[in-house]
Amino acid sequence: MSTEEIVRAWKDKNYRNSLSDQQKAMLPSNPAGLIDLTDDDMMSLSGGCTMCGNPNHTLVWYECLE
């Protein structure tokens, strides 16, 4: 596989899934490590903290104004 194909396989899940088992076996490990998060992992992400339920902790939403 070319360097471009390897990088594309690391970045593009659809492309990676289209590869044969033999091609997937030839892929080196992604240097960034595991890139997929589970739904549970994603639900716990919120600005680097978990929701604590304390009413004194509020979320302020600022929209960018141009």
Query: How far is it, in rounded angstroms, from Cα 41 to Cα 38?
Result: 5
pLDDT of residue 59: 61
| 17 membership: H or E segment, kind and range | helix 13-18
pLDDT in tens, 8-60: 999 999 999 999 999 999 999 988 876 677 778 777 766 655 556 666 666 66
Determine the pLDDT at residue 8: 95
User: Quick one: pLDDT at residue 46?
Assistant: 61
